[in-house]
Amino acid sequence: MHMSFRLLAWNNLKRNARAYVPYYLSSSLMITIFFVYAVFIFHPDVSNVITAANVKKGLQVADLLIFVFSFFFVLYTNNIFVAARKKELGILTILGASHRQIYFLIAIENLIIGFLSLVTGMIGGFVSAKFFLLLGSKITGIYLRFYFPWKALAFTGIGFMFLFILISLVSVFFIRRFKLQQLFSKAPQLNKEPKASWSLSILAVVLIGAAVYLMKLDFSPYIYLAPYRLGTLSFYILHYSVGDTFKYTIIMGSLGIYLFYTQSCVLFIQLLRANRKWSWSGSRLLWLSEITYKMRNNAGLFSLITLISIISCVGAASTFDSMQQQKRFLREQSYSFAFTSDVVSSNELEKEIDQNLYTAGVDYGKGEVLVFPFREQIAPVMKQSNYEALASKFKKLKQVPTLRENQGFFIIDPNEMPLEEKKTLFEKKLTYKQGKSHMMNLEIMDTKTIDHNLKFDGNIVSELGRLLVVSDRTYDYLIEHRYFNDPLAFKSTYYFVPKWKNGQLSLETSETQQEVWLYSVLANRVNKGVLNSRAVDYLTSEMDLVISEFIGGFIAIIMLASTVSLLYFRLYVDLQRDEEIYRALSKIGLNSREMRQSASRQIAFLFLLPLVVSSMGMVLCLVMSEPSVIYGVPVHLTLIQIMLCFWAIQFLSFLIVRSLYLRQLDLKIL
């Protein structure tokens, strides 16, 4: 029978199945996870329920992140197992195989494994999808029926076939680095002992400090805006994907963390070894020496795990707390309906809304705000009679003095207004101008800040950061002289229903049911403008929060499982070298207990050091951003809870991997 390279590749896979099984299983697992996630995000019921555009974008960004992470994960494991076959490739070279033939052989083997992994992963995905949808239904409260996921199937199949083709090409370049002598070596060649530089160690600290400082300058405002945005994490990612400051932060932070592992940590270990009284006691010198090499060799892996941990924890905490704050913001909102339209159309549409509320027997009050451009900004204006009507209902609101025709009263949200704009407001002289009509030198009687814990009327102040109260005559003057003709001008009308204010926002209450029903009726009849309902927005944000928590937890589990797998594969590669070292040490008197103790400390170092560094990074994020100081939101508590979960899972993984590694080491030595 003629032996072709395709048949040779297939025979190699069958004969070396044990060596390829970990790579095959890891690839299949990532495909299964990606496919199950794609089944969820392409599910028609999920698409119909999620209304927040940022949440949808966040799910898409998360899908892209999983795919990119899958690429690096599969590439890393592939390089590990290609390196494990160096001796076999050396034999083929001695037998006369050309470099081109070896590259072709490696590419075919990778494509075969990729195809088998794709088939296995999709089969596993179909089996797991039903359980995942049942779990998602229970957690989110949405009935997710099982459907044939042809979009997820095509997306996963095309994406991962492209991924495996790309990995095959990368593997060819990877194997070209080895010379014939290196291919026959039983274990990686020992390099010279790693040396650390004081200057580079200090540079690592400086880069990390600079990254944290940049984050302080540009990251904080978006933490503060979180309560008024759905899906803060996706908003942050999409905004900063084109932001120079964020790019510099990521570059300096990543480089600083890498230098921290390659220089600062190595320097610290060398200082420990320099203390002979301590380091020469027991087997400390043995595991300290080994850790020095492993620190330098695994610096890239440690940096990746550290960044993944920081991004996962901080992203999960900020998303969770921002959406919790959004729910609290809506729950404490004073108005039930808000209608926004151009000023010309608003009167007729308001009559339609008023008629429906009257027919439904709802006792309500309302207030209106005229919004138009002023000094290249948007200025919301409310007449004094409307404001006083609101102030009588909400006793904590600032009382407005009697205003004359040329006077106004500013209420500002201190956390929404830039410093320069605050300075402009305190000049207390305003000019409104529209064509030939103009009103000059409107005197500001006083400027007050709102009680931020009160969350006064949501959109009235907090969206624009300010509210100008003027006399009724001044307000009518603005309407009469058609200041609203500007394309950016609009009018907002807020409806207050006292009966619904104290009710719980839940579909189980009659007040919420009536509000949702009225919203559905009004939304069908109002053909212009935007109509918002407090209850509908709250229930929608609650559903978005549940789905975000579900997906965020799922992604966090993926990240944790992947980091554990990467560390285990790293130990698997070093096992051959470690067993030779421990076998030699056993011949000179090192007993089994000391060897197990030394190996355990090295494994603990590999597993727990990145988590320690990432925890320090998260603490720096907390100290620099201080979001809880601004809004009283327990971001610190949430982040600490997530960090503790990461620690618990990582420590459990350490115990499992340690047990498996020591068992393999005992079998090899004995």
What pLDDT score does 565 carry? 72
pLDDT reported for residue 426: 43
Cα separation of 330 and 505, whole Å? 9
Per-residue pLDDT averaged across 631-657, rounded? Answer: 72
Q: Is the pLDDT of residue 75 over 50?
A: yes
- Give the span between the Cα atoms of 351 and 360, in whole angstroms: 14
Residue 486 has pLDDT above 70, yes or no: no
Please give the average per-residue pLDDT across 198-206, as a whole number.
Answer: 88
pLDDT, mean of residues 405-426:
58
Per-residue confidence (pLDDT) for residue 423, from 0 to 100: 47
**Cα–Cα distance for residue pair 620/116, rounded to 1 Å:** 45
Task: Provide the sign of the torsion angle of the four alpha carbons 88, 90, 91, 92, taken in this order.
Answer: positive
pLDDT > 60? residue 182: no
Instruction: Tell me the C-alpha distance between 477 and 483, whole Å.
Output: 9
Neighbours of 6 (CB within 10 A): 13
Residue 223 has pLDDT above 50, yes or no: no
**Which tokens is 406 given?**
């040329």
Cβ contacts of 625 within 8 Å, gap of 6 or more? 215, 216, 219, 220, 223
Strands 437-449 and 407-412 turn out to be parallel
For strand 365-374 and strand 377-383, is the pairing parallel, antiparallel, or unpaired? antiparallel
Contact 129, 121 (CB under 8 A): no
CA distance 506 to 535: 8
Q: What is the pLDDT of residue 364?
A: 77
Mean pLDDT score, 199-217: 81
pTM: 0.60
* Percent of the chain predicted with pLDDT > 70: 59
Identify the pLDDT of residue 305. Answer: 80
Check residue 442 and give its pLDDT: 46
Length of the chain: 670
pLDDT for position 594:
76
Task: Work out the mean pLDDT of the chain and round it to a whole number.
Answer: 69
pLDDT at 455 (0 to 100): 35
Q: How far is it, in rounded angstroms, from Cα 400 to Cα 274? A: 73
- pLDDT band for position 435 (50/70/90)? very low
Report the alpha-carbon distance of residue 290 to residue 605 in Å, rounded.
Answer: 11
pLDDT greater than 80 at residue 265: yes
Q: How large is the average pLDDT for residues 504-529?
A: 69
Q: Per mean pLDDT, which range of 44-53, 147-156, 582-591 is the poorest? A: 44-53
Supply the pLDDT for residue 588: 73
- pLDDT level of residue 288 (50, 70, 90 thresholds): confident
Tell me which of 118-122, 224-228, 565-569 is least confident: 224-228
Cβ–Cβ < 8 Å for 481, 446: no
pLDDT at 655 over 80: yes
Edge to edge, the sheet with strand 337-341 lists: 429-434, 437-449, 407-412, 466-470, 377-383, 365-374, 490-496, 337-341, 530-533
Q: Shortest CA distance to 497 belongs to which of 508, 489, 505?
A: 505
What's the CA dihedral at 456, 459, 463, 465 to 10 degrees? -40
Best CA proximity match to 649, nearest among 546, 558, 550, 547: 558
Please state, in angstroms and rounded to a whole number, the distance separating the CA atoms of residues 464 and 480: 24
User: Any idea which residue has 């209420």 for tokens?
Assistant: 411
Q: Kindly compute the dihedral angle of the four CA atoms of residues 357, 361, 362, 365, in this order, to the nearest 10 degrees.
A: 70
Q: Which residue has the higher pLDDT, 527 or 427?
A: 527
The pLDDT value recorded for residue 328 is 67
Q: Is the pLDDT of residue 649 over 70?
A: yes
Please tell me the predicted confidence (pLDDT) of residue 239. Answer: 33
598-638 pLDDT, tens digit each: 888 888 888 888 888 888 877 776 666 554 433 444 556 66
Rounded CA-CA distance 559/305 in Å is 9
User: What is the tens place of the pLDDT at every residue in 445-480?
Assistant: 444 443 333 333 444 554 445 677 778 887 777 666
* DSSP E strand stretches across 459-585: 466-470, 490-496, 530-533
Distance, in Å, from the CA atom of 1 to the CA atom of 122, rounded to the nearest integer, reads 34
pLDDT of residue 505: 58
A 10 A CB-CB count for 107 gives 19
Tell me the average pLDDT across 436-452. 41
Can you give the pLDDT at residue 454? 32
What local confidence, expressed as pLDDT, does residue 529 receive? 73
When pLDDT is averaged across residues 143-168 and rounded to a whole number, the result is 84
Residue with tokens 């034999």: 91
Spatial contact of 603 and 292, defined as CB atoms under 8 Å apart: no
Of the candidates 139, 137, 141, 57, the residue with the CA atom closest to the CA atom of residue 539 = 141
Quote the pLDDT of residue 316.
67
Helix, strand, coil abundance in the chain, percent, nearest 5: 70, 10, 20
Tokens of 263: 């220089």
Q: What is the pLDDT of residue 436?
A: 38
Percent of the chain with pLDDT over 90: 0
Taking each helix axis as running N to C, give the angle between helix 17-41 and helix 150-175, from 0 to 180 degrees, rounded to the nearest 10. Answer: 140
Q: State the average pLDDT over residues 294-304.
A: 78
Q: Which residue has the higher pLDDT, 365 or 163?
A: 163
Q: What is the pLDDT of residue 67?
A: 76
pLDDT-based confidence at 326, cuts 50/70/90? low
Half-sphere exposure of 273 (CA within 13 A, CB side): 17
The answer to which of 25-34, 105-114, 138-147, 272-281 has the lowest mean pLDDT is 138-147
Q: How confident is the model at residue 571 (pLDDT cuts 50, 70, 90)?
A: confident
Q: What is the pLDDT of residue 248?
A: 76
In whole angstroms, give the CA distance from residue 186 to residue 35. 38
| Over residues 540-552, mean pLDDT | 71
Residue 176: its pLDDT value, please? 67
Q: What is the CA 612 to chain-centroid distance, rounded? A: 20
State the pLDDT confidence band at 390, using cuts at 50, 70 and 90. Answer: low
Instruction: State how beta strands 490-496 and 365-374 pair.
Output: antiparallel
- Tokens for 328, please give them: 């609290």
Find the distance separating the first CA and the last CA of the chain, reported in whole Å. 42
- Confidence class of residue 343 from pLDDT cuts 50, 70 and 90? low
DSSP per position, 387-437? HHHHHHH-TTSPPPPP--TTEEEEEE-TTTS-HHHHHHHTT-EEEEEETTE
